[in-house]
Chain A
Amino acid sequence: MSIDISVRIGDLELKNPVMTASGTFGYGEEYAEFLDLSRLGAIVVKGLSLNPKEGNPPPRIVETASGMLNAIGLQNIGIERFIREKVPFLKTYDTKIIVNFFGDSVNEYVAAAERLSSVHGIHALEMNVSCPNKQAGWSIFGTDPLVMSQVVGAVRKASGLPLIVKLSPNVTDIAHMAKVAADAGADALSVINTLTGMAIDIRTRRPKLANRTGGLSGPAIKPVAVRMVYDVYKAVKIPIIGVGGIMNTEDALEFILAGASAVAVGTANFIRPTVSVEIIDGIAAFLAQEHISSFHSLRGTAHES
């Protein structure tokens, strides 16, 4: 029995529900020698800004219990170079290309979205709102409902591509933030980005990361992410992409049951470059084993009483 595991995220049709989380899969080419990129539901590339960004000084990474903190500082080659040097390569694969992007002002978000939307070979945009807002004292876009509504609304008007908003978990009420993003025009939500954290070296008595704080990812954050997907599912109608600590098929399915339509695999790519493909095969095998003919029917079933 061949099982259909294709999914729709707004107008975006994915051949399977597994994509790669932004910042953990480079621009795709880094992984091309380990797996067939055409097998992926989608590739979400490293976050891009209009102008290249140098990123933070090292150390940028520190391992913590079942997780890691990163403070890469959004280093990227900039949108123009991406379009020139990476898109032609990505276009040779039969998968969907989702471009994660950010800005430090509403204008920059809009300009980035406009530029990316004119490029053949880019299928959807994912907005990273977990970054600082220059115009508001470097507060985080995605933690203030009014600012988020403004920036998502402005980008919505600027782009005809499917628009995914990636929510920051560093908020009190993620369901509320989800509603704000949906009302402002998001077609889908990625839940969640990294949780802000810190690790301190007890010998030097200084934070281990040069940036002091970093984003926590990996298995340590999975229960938080699952709960957030569960809450967001109750609050909005639009599709959810579950992200956070997914290491294997069972983890991915947990997100689907909580309400996600698809998943993105992040930190696990660092440990097993082929893990996304293993999860795709694992999901199909699970459905066959359990005699489930429709992947879609699993979504949100943890909510049934």
Chain B
Amino acid sequence: MIEVNTGTDPLLKRAFSLFRITGKDLQILYRVRGKGTAILKNMKEGAYLDMLGPLGSFYPLPPEDQIPLIIAGGIGIASVFSLAERLAGRAIVFYGARKKYDLLMFKEIEACAHELVVSTDDGSAGRKGTVAEAVEAFLRSHASLIASCAIYACGPYPLLKTLAQMTQEYRIRTYVSMEEHMACGIGACLGCVVKTRDGYKRVCKEGPVMSATEILW
């Protein structure tokens, strides 16, 4: 959670994934969305920011014999990037965006992925279509691998929902990183809940990474 300004509007902290930690740097990768991210964008180098974290859960690392499929829709790449890096050379990464211009950190991902499957809605890079379609095509053509796959996904809600339904069909263990509006980020306000089989769970505390089968989509 990052405090984007010291005034009262915007008031609440904004949630960001820890994109990458290198030596002394802690990096976030963000998309300008509204007021808060616009303030971040206009910040000068050397400015100070208050931050609370790291908070919440991370993707559980797959056992050695598993094939990790990492799936990122749009800015969701910020959440899964460090996982891809950690799994150096092991993961098959599916990265989808609206258009070529929106594909960030392309070289870096290519470098740490075992294989990179790119898709764009308008076909300006990689496969034309959604990232979910790309994943489905892969699964269909690699039926023998399915049993040893595990999925790690972050992106817009509709993408995660589609993936969850699809991977349930294929019986693939699937972890998704959820988004909800947040106030505290530390489990106190109960504002960020998603509905699960065991009732409402807090995205900031029990999440953001949750098992896809646990969520009532």
Contact = CB atoms under 8 A, between A and B. Distances in A.
B12 interface: yes
B43 interface: no
Interface stretch (B18-26, B64-72, B132-140, B193-201): B193-201
Interface residues of B, number: 27
A206 to B, nearest CB: 15
A58 B188 contact: no
B189 A61 contact: yes
A115 B200 CA distance: 26
A63 B200 contact: no
Nearest to A218: B11
Query: What is the size category of the interface that chain A forms with chain B?
Result: 20 to 34
Interface in B184-206: 184-195, 199-200
Interface in A52-77: 54-55, 57-63, 65-68, 70, 72, 75
Contacts of B189: 23-24, 26, 61, 70, 72, 270
B181 A270 contact: no
B188 A55 contact: no
A252 to B, nearest CB: 15
A190 B116 CA distance: 58
B199 A54 contact: yes
A254 to B, nearest CB: 15
A68 B188 contact: no
Given A68-B11, A270-B13, A61 B183 contact: yes
B102 interface: no
B125 to A, nearest CB: 28
Contact of B181 (A61, A219, A220): A61
A31 interface: yes
A284 B81 CA distance: 47
A70 B191 contact: yes
A271 B199 contact: no
Residue among A34, A60, A273 with most chain B CB within 10 A: A60
A271 B4 CA distance: 11
B93 interface: no
B193 A60 contact: yes
B52 interface: yes
Contacts of A290: none
A38 interface: no
Contact of A31 (B9, B13, B188, B195): B188
B8 A26 contact: no
B188 A59 contact: no
Contacts of B3: 271
Nearest to A30: B188
A60 B181 contact: yes
A37 to B, nearest CB: 13
Interface in B164-217: 180-195, 199-200
A54 B190 CA distance: 11
Contacts of A55: 190, 193, 200
B89 interface: no
B215 to A, nearest CB: 12
B8 A219 contact: yes
Contacts of B62: none
Nearest to A26: B188
Contact of B200 (A25, A26, A46, A75): A75
Contacts of B180: 58-59
A273 B52 CA distance: 9
A269 interface: yes
Interface of A: 23-26, 30-31, 34, 46, 54-55, 57-63, 65-68, 70, 72, 75, 218-220, 247, 267, 269-273
